[in-house]
Copies of this chain bind each other. A is one copy, B any other.
Amino acid sequence: MKSEIIAVGSEMLTPFRQDTNSLYITEKLNSIGVAVSFKTIVGDRRKNIVNAVRTALSRVDILILMGGLGPTEDDLTREAVAEALSLTLRRDAPQVAALHTRAAMWRITMPQNNLKQADVLEGATLLPNVNGSAPGQWLDTTFSGYRKLIALLPGPPHECRPLFDAECLPRLSEAVPPRVIAVRTLKAAMIPESQADKLLAPIYTPFTDVETTLLAHTGDLQVTLICSKPDANAARQRVDELAGRMEETLEDWLYSSQGDTLEQIVLYYLELRQATLAVAESCTGGLVSERITSVPGASRTFLGGAVVYSDELKTSMAGVPADLIKQYGAVSAEVAKALAQGIRARTGATLGVGVTGIAGPAGATESKPVGLVHIALCDAQGCDALERTFRGDRQRIREWAAQQALDLIRRRLM
């Protein structure tokens, strides 16, 4: 069965905000074997919502609408669906009572407008919303002679998502033919994008029953394998077979076969090796530390580090000799090594990392272009050092450098 998701809200037609609920709902729909064929974003205009609903019902079987269920004049989803399907709206007495109770609980007088939220489509079931005042609605109906399943959900993510899980997913699972979806996500670091596709395409192309998606972003490659079959074992087997071949090909670029992030893997290896880590960052300005500490429990193996933006701090916080900076420049292999050694010595960490580079747009010299980054990793045995020149704007160069630093740590610990 094919589905469409319609996000209703004028703010999502501005340059400033995007619908994100649909990513969540897509994942859940896929998990029961329902593909999303279209997504539509429409503003708070009744005529346009009616148009979007009719268009959707003419091309899919399952329609998920999000947004436009609130109490304001701009909340028009109920009215528009009623018009598109030529249904009436009735005001639901228990829901009116619930709205009054809610207002009393919050000690506010309820504006008359709020009662709109008790309007129910003819034949629809109200879906209780424990996180907000607007209930959802579920409609199992026909359009041009075909069965259509329609859900109306509130827009705020913390209302929309739990409501979809609790009320829509079970109803949809019952309605769609039983299929089992097997999913695997492989992750690899710093593999060139063109090389990834060249290596992997010959492997996944013959697996016509497995949907393979490659996504690459600043040195991080995510390969998602999805297989849908009536039989659970058959689906799982196909995905695992393809994953196994890819794992072999990706060799040590592969860092996770289960969708973990690179920072999770780094922390996992640190615990496994009973090692600790400290980082001295210049051009990445805290990005490496920030990624590592975004993982709960990072404090078990990550001690911390220094953001040494000025030359003086490279000396005072990470013990880089001022002469060394003078001789080789702040962006040099020598200074990267001294940063790594210095932060390791100062913190007593097993591993010390140093990152220095030119993130731009200013700061380039004749011999050192924007994007040049030196990264070093030192432990009791010695130092690894890397020189890379990354392309892109300031943000991308910083992201590339942080990714490369994390990958260097991973490879040392592997």
Contacts and interface: CB of A to CB of B under 8 A. Distances in A.
A294 interface: yes
Interface string A195-221: 000000000000000000101000000
Most chain B C-beta atoms within 10 Å of own C-beta, residue among A15, A278, A292: A15
A12 B36 CA distance: 10
Given A286-B286, A286-B288, A317-B346, A305 B306 contact: yes
Interface in A288-324: 288-290, 292-294, 296-299, 302-310, 312-313, 316-317
Contacts of A293: 284-286, 307, 309, 398
A35 B43 CA distance: 11
A362 interface: yes
B18 A18 contact: yes
Interface string A273-288: 0000011011011111
B296 A285 contact: no
A296 B30 contact: no
A42 B39 CA distance: 7
B13 A26 contact: yes
Nearest to A37: B48
A304 B296 contact: no
Given A41-B38, A298-B285, A303-B309, A215 B290 contact: no
A16 interface: yes
Interface stretch (A51-59, A78-86, A111-119): A51-59
Chain A interface secondary structure, helix, strand, loop or mixed? mixed
Interface of A: 11-18, 20, 23-24, 26-27, 30, 35-43, 45, 48, 51-52, 55, 59, 213, 215, 222, 224, 278-279, 281-282, 284-290, 292-294, 296-299, 302-310, 312-313, 316-317, 346-348, 360-362, 394-395, 398
Given A13-B26, A304-B306, 7 more contacts: A15-B24, A18-B20, A38-B40, A38-B42, A38-B48, A285-B286, A303-B313
